Structure 1
Amino acid sequence: MAFTRATGKHRRPHRLSGTSAKVAGVAALTTTSVVGGLAAPALADDTAKQSTGATQAISIDHSLADAIDAQAAAQQQAADAAVAKAKAEAAAKRKAAEEKREAEAKAKKEREVKQRAAREAERKRLNAYVTPVDGSYVSTGYRTGGGIWSSGSHTGIDFHAATGTTVHSVGAGTVVQTGWGGAYGNQVVIKMHDGTYTQYGHLSSVSVSAGQAVTPGQQIAVSGATGNVTGPHLHFEARTGPEYGSDMDPVAYLRGHGVNV
């Protein structure tokens, strides 16, 4: 009985075809292995060369990177140091400025304290009263009677003083009269700061002029024996006005201003 091969796309591959492919693959592999074995020395040498070059390149790259990192770190350190220095300088300037302000404020306060003290001292000095003649005493009292005085009594007090003795203003004020005063001889009349008046008579010479401001203890004249006198001395009066007849007790007046008479 005869058989025929089926035709068409459903035909089954022949067993030899698959086996041949396998054999061809083994041959190719064997050939490749052999060729590869023969070429191995040269390939190994090239590979070694390529490996050595790569290692050198990597080493150089690492050295360069380390150098760059070190430079960057140094630059950062320098920048940090510059910032720290700038901050320190700024802080020092602020501290110096603050210390300067504090010193100026302290100096200003001290000046103000000294100025207030000076003003207070000046105020006290100007309000102070002194005796018209240093180290003297009252030789003739107020309202002492006698024919030597035209009013019949003494309108002031006399301080013992030799001719040429310095005569002081008893307080601060302004000179309103100087020159000849009749029975008083050479005289000085001063309007005091409290509105009262003081008069100094029988002077040998006068050292101030009308309109001049005087201070407590300032020399205004020297004593003498001009006018109606029996000897050298200083005649002193306290008055409510500049003219004769407005007298008040000069001892009480001086004591009322703190002068021990």
Structure 2
Amino acid sequence: MPAKGKHRRPKVNPITRGLVAAGAGGAVVALPLFGATGAHAAEQAAPSVTSQQAVAAVAAAKPAAAPQAAKAKAKTKAKVYKVVRGDYLSKIAQEHHLAGGWQKLYKDNRQVIGDNPSLIRPGMKLTLGAKSTAKPAAQTERKAAPKPAPKAAAKATETRASRSSERAAAPAAASGWFAPVSGGVSTPYRMAGSMWSSGYHTGADFIASTGTSVRAVGPGTVVSAGWGGAYGNEIVIQHADGSYSQYAHLSSLAVSAGETVTGGQQIGLSGSTGNVTGPHLHFEIRTGPSYGSDVDPLAYLRSHGVSI
């Protein structure tokens, strides 16, 4: 009978127990190096990591996005802009890099500007980057104007001096009459064509890019300043000799009905409002304030000593 021998515990290859620790975001997962035996040992050696714990670990590693969003919001803080002479909405939107362009600027400030986006006046306060909370222009105008203070009087003097410098810069005739702009004529008076309702051109078109200063040709009183249908934004001035000058397709108006103007004074800026194919100044001389009473505008200016 064979002698009882001592059973030795079978050796276990240390390689089969080898584990690799792998993790993401602080979560440790034990993985076997070889085969199912190692995997069984790994299950006993380390607790399993659930998928929820792994997701939580990855989420904890991501930086918080809230502070960045707060910083971006802070950069878009709204501010108030005061309109100056020569401004128009597209110019303001471009200079201040406003998202949405002049359309968004107009939408945010419509109650201040009114129904016509082309009519903005010096002194208007526009909110840039947010909707304006100011009262509508009509309500503001109903308030009685305060008596002029010394500071207001000084500002009025400064305005008159500015207008005087504008007249000095313009080419003046000896009689004090001026050409409305410095550019030449692109479409002459009485040019025939079906594009005009009367069958001919009732004025003279002067070459003028958008934003060009438009001057009153002579002293007079503003009869109307506003929207003129196909003429776009227009100004009509009555002169002492009973004639009327008309300035059409303007991008901005600087005078109001009832205001007295002098020859060479800036009354607005040229543009392309109304029925046009491009920016220019349509200029007429009339025997009455309305359409259909036109006379030769260049002959009229020459009769007042203007070289054109």
Q: So what's the TM-score if we normalise by structure 1?
A: 0.51
Structure with larger RCO (C-alpha < 8 A, sep 6+): 1
Question: How far off its partner does 1:210 sit?
Answer: 0.4
Q: For residue 249 of structure 2, give the secondary structure of its aligned residue in structure 1.
A: strand
Gaps of 5+ in 1: 1-123
More helix by share: 1
Q: For residue 177 of structure 2, give the secondary structure of its aligned residue in structure 1.
A: coil
Q: Where in structure 2 are the equivalents of 1:26-175 lying within 5 Å?
A: 127-134=175-182, 136-175=183-222
The answer to whether the Cα contact below 8 Å between 1:126 and 1:171 also exists between their aligned partners in 2 is no
Question: How far off its partner does 1:193 sit?
Answer: 1.8
Amino acid at match of 2:301: L
Q: For residue 267 of structure 2, give the secondary structure of its aligned residue in structure 1.
A: strand
Amino acid at match of 1:259: V
1:257 matched to 2:299: no
Amino acid at match of 1:131: A
Question: How far off its partner does 1:227 sit?
Answer: 0.7
Sort the Cα spacing of 1:139 and 1:177 in 2 relative to 1 into closer, same or farther, 3 A: same
Q: Residue 178 of structure 1 aligns with which residue?
A: 225
Runs of 4+ aligned structure 1 residues displaced above 3 Å come to: 124-127
Could you report, residue by residue, the CA deviation over 1:232-253 in whole angstroms, capped at 9, with x for unpaired residues?
0000000111010010000110
The answer to whether the Cα contact below 8 Å between 1:163 and 1:233 also exists between their aligned partners in 2 is yes
Question: How far off its partner does 1:257 sit?
Answer: 0.5
Alignment identity in percent? 64
Could you report, residue by residue, the CA deviation over 1:168-189 in whole angstroms, capped at 9, with x for unpaired residues?
0000000001100011000000
Q: Residue 9 of structure 2 aligns with which residue?
A: none
The answer to whether the Cα contact below 8 Å between 2:173 and 2:307 also exists between their aligned partners in 1 is no
Sort the Cα spacing of 1:127 and 1:241 in 2 relative to 1 into closer, same or farther, 3 A: farther
Equivalences, count: 137
The answer to whether the Cα contact below 8 Å between 1:126 and 1:172 also exists between their aligned partners in 2 is no
Partner Cα separation in structure 2 for residue 229 and residue 181 of structure 1: 13
Could you report, residue by residue, the CA deviation over 1:151-172 in whole angstroms, capped at 9, with x for unpaired residues?
1110000000000000000000
Amino acid at match of 1:239: R
The answer to whether the Cα contact below 8 Å between 1:130 and 1:259 also exists between their aligned partners in 2 is yes
Sort the Cα spacing of 1:192 and 1:243 in 2 relative to 1 into closer, same or farther, 3 A: same
Structure index of larger Rg: 1
The answer to whether the Cα contact below 8 Å between 2:174 and 2:305 also exists between their aligned partners in 1 is no
Question: How far off its partner does 1:126 sit?
Answer: 10
1:214 matched to 2:261: yes
Partner Cα separation in structure 2 for residue 243 and residue 222 of structure 1: 22
